[in-house]
Amino acid sequence: MNQISDLFAEAERGNTVDKADYEAELSELRMELLNLQYDLNRRDFSVVLLIVGDDLPGVVASLRVLHEWMDGRYIQNHVMFDTPGEKFEEQPLVKRYWRRLPPDGSIGLFLGAWPYLLLGTAFDEDWSDEELDRGLDDVSRFEKLLVDDGTLLLKYWLHLPKKKLKNRVAAAERNPQKYWDYAQYDWKFLKRYDDRFDLVERLMGRTNTPSTPWRIIESADPRYRNLALGNHIASALQKRLYSDSAQTVASNAVSKIAQSDESAMDDIDLGASVDEDTYRKKLPKLQARLNRLSHRAHKAGVHCVFLFEGVDAAGKGGAIRRLASALPVQHTRVIPIAAPSETELARHYLWRFWTRLPDSGKTVIFDRSWYGRVLVERVEELAQVHEWSRAYEEINEFEASLHDSNFVVCKFWLQIDTDTQLSRFEARAQTPYKKYKLTDEDYRNRKKWAQHQAAAEEMIALTSTSHAPWTLVAANDKRHARLQVLSTVVERLDAQLRILDAADSKQHRKGKKKRSG
C-alpha cells in the first residue's frame, strides 16, 4: 500500500459529527473565518482554494457552505467541471486558470478545475503516458509558480468510499424528490471508479509536494466534512497570515545566475545599414509576402506572439508599425506594456501576459513584455532579487508552454549605441508632436545605461532557447532594423507553415495507407 492509498484509507474511517457539536463548533469557526478573511483582505497575497473529489455533490455543497460562512465579496467562484472547447495542442492547458486567478487579499474558489480536467481528459481520450506526463508537468509547474509567488494554495479532495457513493446514487434514483442533489450529476466517476483510481493516484503522486500538498477529506458525513474543511482552511490561513513561512519559501527559491564571459551584444554589427533605395524596394515586397503568409497562418490556426525589447528610442514603435501594417488588422493586436495597473500588481507578474495571449489563428505584438521583470524591474529594484532571479526559469517555462501549444514566438532585441540614442532624443525634442515621447525618465535611464545593458545581456544568455530564440537587431539604422524584423517573421512563419504542411501530408499518406491496407 503506497502513501496515497494510505491517505485515502484514512478518509474512510466513518467519522461523523452530531448536530449539537456541529452547531456549537460552527459559531466559533464562522467568526474565525470571517476575521481571517478581513485580515487577508489587507495583505499582499491571494488564496487559491481548489476543491475536487469523487464526491461531486459534496464538492458543490462545500462551495455553498463556504459562501454561507464567509463574506462573499472576497470569494470568487470558478465552477469548472466542463471540458474546454480548445485542444491542449492549441492553447496551454493552464491558460484558462490564469485568467481566473484572484487578486491579492482575496480567495479564488475553484471547483473541479485542473485536476478534474486532467483526470477527465486523460481518461476519456485514453492518453498515452507521455501525454499524461506532459499534462501533469504543466499543472505542477503552474502550482509551483503560484506558490513561489506567495499564493496560498489549498487543495482538497473530498472522498466518499465507493460503496457509499453507490448507495447514494441508488437512493437518489429511488427518491429523486428527496435526494435531488445526488440525482442529476454526471456519474462518470462512479461508473469507472476502479479504473480511474490509478489515474487519481498518479495525479496525487505527481502533485502532492511539500509546498503543494493535497488534503483528502472524508465526505460521507456532511457535518464532518464541512467542519474538517472549514477548520483546515482556518488553520492554514492563520498560519500563513501570522507566520513568516512565505518569506522562507521565497528566499529558498533564489536561483543562481549563470555567469557568462561572452556577450551576445558584442556580435551585433551596429554599423549595418540599408540605403533608401534598397529599403523602398524591399519593404513592400517583404510586407506583401508577410501578408500572404499571415493569411495562410490564420487559416491554419497558427497563433503568433512577437515581442520587442530594447532601450528607449531604439525604434521599437517604427518597426512594430511596419510589421503590424502587413498583418491582417482583424487578427492582430499591438499591446503596449507600461507600468502595471493596480489590478495587475495584485497578481503574478505573468498574469497580464497569460490573459492576453492570442486565440488560435491570431497575432499579438507586445511592445515591451514579460522581460520587464528582468530588465527595468531588476535595474530599478522594483522586484526583489529572489523574484527576478527566479523569473528566467519561469519565463523559459512559460515560453515552452507556448511552443508546446504551437505558438510562433519571435523575440526582438533592438540594440543601438548611446550616441544614437542621444541624437534621437534630441530629434524628438525638436519635433513638436514627438515631444510627448520624451520624459525626464528617459534621461535618467541613460545614466544607468551600463546596468540596463548588463541586465539585457544576462537576459539574452539565460532565455535564448531553441523554441524561443532571441533575434538581436542592429538598430542604429532604422531601415536595417525594420527589414531584419520583417524578414525574421517571414522566415519563422514560413517554417511553421512548412512543418504543418508536412504533418498534414504525413497524416494524409497515413490515411491513404490505411484505406489501401
- Binding-site size, a second copy (CB under 8 A): 48
Position 42 contacts a second copy (CB under 8 A): no
Q: Identify the helix (H) or strand (E) that includes residue 412.
A: strand 407-415
Identify which range of 28-36, 91-99, 122-130, 161-169 contacts a second copy by CB under 8 A: 28-36
C-alpha cell at 481: 532594423
Residues numbered 308 to 327 that lie near a second copy (CB under 8 A) are: 321, 324-325
Position 258 contacts a second copy (CB under 8 A): no
235 or 325: CB nearest a second copy = 325
Report d(CA 407, CA 91) in Å as an integer.
8
The Cα-based distances of 326 to 263, 363, 364, 413 in angstroms read 33, 12, 13, 20
Identify which range of 118-126, 288-296, 476-484, 494-502 contacts a second copy by CB under 8 A: 288-296
Position 406 contacts a second copy (CB under 8 A): no
**Candidate list 5, 14, 38, 509; residue touching a second copy; CB under 8 A:** 38
5 or 184: CB nearest a second copy = 184
Binding mask 158-177 for a second copy (x = CB under 8 A): ------------------xx
Report d(CA 313, CA 26) in Å as an integer.
62
C-alpha cell at 298: 490564420
Q: Identify the helix (H) or strand (E) that includes residue 339.
A: none
Give the nearest distance from C-beta 329 to a second copy in angstroms: 5
Report d(CA 65, CA 437) in Å as an integer.
53
DSSP per-residue string spanning 343-398: HHHTS-TTHHHHTTPPPTT-EEEEES-GGGGGTHHHHTT-S-HHHHHHHHHHHHHH
Q: What are the phi and psi torsion angles at 465 (to 5°)?
A: -110, 165
Give the nearest distance from C-beta 373 to a second copy in angstroms: 20
Q: Which residue, among 282, 360, 291, 298, has the nearest Cα to 323 in the 3D structure?
A: 291
The residues with which 366 forms a beta bridge, in sequence order, are 307, 335
**Candidate list 432, 514, 516, 517; residue touching a second copy; CB under 8 A:** 432
Position 128 contacts a second copy (CB under 8 A): no
Residues numbered 62 to 121 that lie near a second copy (CB under 8 A) are: 63-64, 67-69, 71-73, 77, 79-82, 111
Position 502 contacts a second copy (CB under 8 A): no
Residue 308, CA atoms < 13 Å, CB-side half-sphere: 33
Position 24 contacts a second copy (CB under 8 A): no
Identify which range of 143-151, 212-220, 231-239, 280-288 contacts a second copy by CB under 8 A: 280-288
Q: What are the phi and psi torsion angles at 215 (to 5°)?
A: -115, 125
Report d(CA 24, CA 29) in Å as an integer.
9
Binding positions for a second copy, rule: CB under 8 A: 27, 30-31, 34, 38, 60, 63-64, 67-69, 71-73, 77, 79-82, 111, 176-178, 180-181, 184, 284-285, 287-288, 291-292, 295, 321, 324-325, 328-330, 333-334, 336, 338, 343, 431-433, 436
